[in-house]
Structure 1
Amino acid sequence: MAELRVVPSGDNPPEDLDPNTRFSNLLRQSSWGDESAFAQLYDAVAPRLYGLVLRVVRDPAQSEEVTQEAFLEIWKTSTRFDPALGSALGWMMTITHRKAVDRVRSAEAAGRRDNSYHEANQDVDYDTTAEAVTASLEAERVRRALQTLTPAQRSAVELAFFGGYTHTEVASMLGLPLGTAKTRIRDGLIRLRDTLGMNT
């Protein structure tokens, strides 16, 4: 490997240097706190790093954010770069790729959390009469009162009251028109209310 030609801070690396040596020099100068050198490095490699991120993240706006995060880490950790272990561009691309993968994993984890929360907190549509029965009666008393209903009413009420199914779902499960299912549920719950002595 050719000897690394480090250019003093504040000076521009000669244009005749190969890209790897030039990037290595700019990284070394950045590690000394040379903002001008880091700006040159940014201009030289930003398109390549952004392209790498875009291939992983796929969203242009997020890719810009991730690229900025990668450059921030490159600036902060530039003292760790060792040209004996690999090229400057390879080192920067490794940091950038890790940032991109982290963003994708974070987005996937957030999506799973949102889905789990939505599923756990999804409201079930109940008829207002069913809500009144649920709020006012113990389940065992309701089960006993169910025996006073007709078989058709009981099937519909059990699905809606104990199963937590919506009117549309009850209608589908029993093979009934929606209006018929609603009527059976409503009439059954009204009969339950009367049997159990609830006030309207």
Structure 2
Amino acid sequence: SEEVTQEVLVEVWRTAARFQADRGSAMTWVMTLAHRRAVDRVRSAQARVDREDRVARLDHTPAFDDVTEQVESRLEREQVRRCLGGLTERQRQAVTLAYYRGLTYREVAELLKLPLGTIKTRMRDGLIRLRDCLGGTA
């Protein structure tokens, strides 16, 4: 605000000869100059911030590479499919129903008309084989 005030006073000093009393008071003229100068300053500051934001966005590199993420995801899906192929048909059926269709062990047992304990055993054995195939340790 101090800079705007100084700029307005300098402008008043330089353009005093152009002041026209028949168009309004000197106070109105000075206040109009001050208002216009203040608005110009705010707009200039906002334009600077906008430019800096645009430059920052252009310089910003993503935290990860989309192509790499897509390739890794595809490779993981292919490895899971390959490992699912290594299960027995009964294990694959139970795992697929539970993990891809979102059924509970009890719902899988009811759907396949098998005892819950049988489904739990198939799931445990299938998940152990999947873990070993995928290289897991837990």
Scaled by the length of structure 2, the TM-score of the pair is 0.48
Considering only CA atoms, is the larger Rg found in Structure 1 or Structure 2?
2
Higher relative contact order (CA 8 A, sep 6+): 2
- Between Structure 1 and Structure 2, the one with more helix by share is 2
